[in-house]
Amino acid sequence: MNLIDTLNWRYAVKKYTPQKVSNENVEQILKAISLSASSAGIQPYRVFIINNKQIRQELAKDSFNAQISEASHLIAFAAFDSITKEHISDFIQFMAKERGLPETALAEYKNTLENHLLTKTDDENFIWSSQQAYIALGTGLIAAANAKVDATPMEGFHSETLDELLNLKEKGLKSVLLLALGYRDAENDFLANQKKVRLPLTELVTEIN
């Protein structure tokens, strides 16, 4: 399939079969997420694969999304609850190491990040970090579709519950998104054979000349 056919095939699955996604496909999706576009390249979020059945069942209690407990895999995206000088310093050190540069070569870039991010409130930086996680989620959805793995992006869960279950507060994180992975139960999912409905480009897109 080409990309457009693949995206037409994809939808937010409501019912999953018990079939498990292979470790190879999960790793491919995670690698794609890691390569997602990220402002300044800083990736101000972390990704958790929740295999623990008890945690998934506990989280599902407070949600209308049965996919939380039924899907093959559940991925959680958690954003930084603030941006600190240490976050920026660690990022610069890592970048210098990966590119074989002295940290001094990145001093101007480091100052730019500090001047831009450290002058914002924690709430503003959390919103920014969350938006970066949404971009990564989108990349994960496309990567899953490319591997012919079904997926469901979800906001309908109690983030406070998940934060407590995963001890995210101690890590300086807040959960913002979930991504279920698996294979559609076409016989029991009412959306499985429905036509995808999207605005025509003539209505969605305005060309400014």
- pLDDT of amino acid 1: 67
What value does the mean pLDDT take over residues 61-65? 88
- pLDDT of amino acid 124: 97
> pLDDT tens digits for 85-105?
999 999 999 999 999 999 999
Burial 21-35 (b: 16+ CB within 10 A, else e): beeebbebbbebbee
What confidence category does residue 72 fall into, taking pLDDT thresholds of 50, 70 and 90? very high
- Chain-centre distance for alpha carbon 90: 22
> pLDDT tens digits for 122-165?
999 999 999 999 999 999 999 999 999 999 999 989 999 999 99
Distance, in Å, from the CA atom of 101 to the CA atom of 72, rounded to the nearest integer, reads 42
User: Residue 75: which of 168, 187, 171, 154 has the closest Cα?
Assistant: 154
- pLDDT of amino acid 158: 94
pTM beyond 0.85: yes
User: Residue 13: which of 74, 76, 71 has the closest Cα?
Assistant: 71
